[in-house]
């Protein structure tokens, strides 16, 4: 239990960071980044509400319906299944490769690597069955990956683990992409129907082969160009909603690329 609890400890603040918008770059280490392997992409399984609107009776009915749907079909507890996190993996691989002097190892090569598969199994053992059960319920990941909760930037054990993985994957850096997918209402109180803005807020961490954090970036929330429909106070998992979230994810990845290029 102590091990699982420690995985959710608070985020340590990096000293000596240079800030570009909401982007934290450790200047002493960012120059070491040239080749990157994305080793973990994950998001919340359910869409969070980012505003404090009062939903009233509709919200109560919507909540009960959501609980019943999840009981009847547990897969409904993961909005978008693996589609959105897989899209994020591809989007960040593409846009991080657009940062000057950076290359990104093909995610398919990473996932197929025997060393990476061993790393995933080691993480599962480290977290333990109960911890993995909790993460399986609350987080979505691409097939073959595992949520890597790198929360304490001074954790020597995890930094050493990242350094070892860099050597095995033959890259000088590894990246972790954590997404918070949310919905924002377009009105004060929710009703039976209406519109909401999907949003994607991303935390990006990049660790170098010598065991140092080069980037600890908390990006601003990205939203699509137009809101989407909701019912009973909840965004529904529809093709239109997934497309809107993909638009927000793509925008967040492009914003990171632009900010990194401006600040390296």
Tell me how many helices (H) and strands (E) the chain has.
8, 11
Tokens of 222: 């990205």
- Highest mean pLDDT among 16-25, 125-134, 153-162, 179-188 belongs to 125-134
Q: Tell how far CA 129 is from the center of its chain.
A: 22
Average pLDDT estimate for 197-205:
94
- Is the predicted pLDDT of residue 202 greater than 80, yes or no? yes
- The pLDDT of residue 48 is 83
Predicted structure pTM score: 0.84
Higher pLDDT, 197 or 61: 197
* pLDDT at residue 260, rounded to an integer: 92
Tokens representing 177 are 């992409």
Q: Is the pLDDT of residue 140 over 50?
A: yes
Parse the chain into domains and list their residue ranges: 16-263
Mean pLDDT of the chain: 83
The region of weakest confidence among 50-59, 80-89, 197-206 is 50-59
Of 30, 32, 31, 23, nearest in space to 171 by CA: 32
Greater confidence, 97 or 24?
A: 97
Could you report the per-residue pLDDT of 55-88, keeping only the tens digit for each? 555 565 556 566 666 665 566 568 988 999 999 9
How deeply is 133 buried, as exposed, middle or buried, from its count of CB atoms within 10 A (0-12, 13-18, 19+)?
exposed
The pLDDT score that the predictor gives to residue 8 is 33
Query: Phi first, then psi: what are they for 64, rounded to 5°?
Result: -65, -40
Output the DSSP codes for 81-125.
TTHHHHHHHHHHHHHHTTSTT-EE--HHHHHH-HHHHHHHHHHHH
Residues of the chain with pLDDT > 90: what percent? 60
Q: What does the pLDDT average to over 116-123? A: 97
Asked if the model's pLDDT at residue 236 lies above 60, the reply is yes
């Amino acid at each position: 239990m102590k091990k699982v609890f420690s995985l959710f400890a608070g985020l340590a603040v990096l000293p000596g960071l240079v800030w570009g918008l909401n982007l934290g770059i450790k200047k002493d280490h960012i120059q070491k980044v040239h080749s990157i392997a994305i080793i973990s992409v994950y998001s919340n399984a359910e869409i969070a509400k980012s505003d404090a609107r009062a939903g009233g009776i509709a919200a109560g009915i919507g909540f009960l319906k959501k609980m019943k749907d999840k009981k009847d079909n547990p897969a409904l507890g993961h909005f978008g299944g693996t589609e959105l996190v897989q899209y994020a993996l591809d989007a960040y691989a593409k846009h991080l490769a657009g940062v000057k002097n950076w290359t990104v190892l093909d995610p398919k090569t990473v996932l197929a690597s025997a060393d990476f598969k061993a790393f995933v199994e080691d993480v599962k053992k480290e977290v333990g069955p109960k911890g993995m059960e909790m993460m399986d319920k609350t987080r979505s990941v691409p097939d073959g990956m595992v949520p890597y909760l790198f929360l304490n930037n001074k954790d020597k054990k995890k930094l050493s683990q990242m350094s070892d993985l860099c050597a095995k994957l033959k890259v000088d850096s590894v990246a972790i992409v954590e997404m918070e997918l949310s919905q924002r209402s377009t009105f004060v109180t929710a009703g039976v129907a209406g519109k909401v803005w999907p949003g994607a807020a991303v935390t990006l961490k990049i660790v170098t082969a010598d065991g140092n954090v080069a980037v600890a970036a908390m990006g601003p929330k990205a939203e699509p160009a137009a809101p989407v429909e909701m019912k009973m106070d909840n965004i529904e998992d529809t093709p239109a909603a997934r497309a809107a979230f993909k638009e927000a994810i793509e925008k967040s990845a492009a914003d990171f690329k632009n900010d990194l290029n401006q600040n390296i």
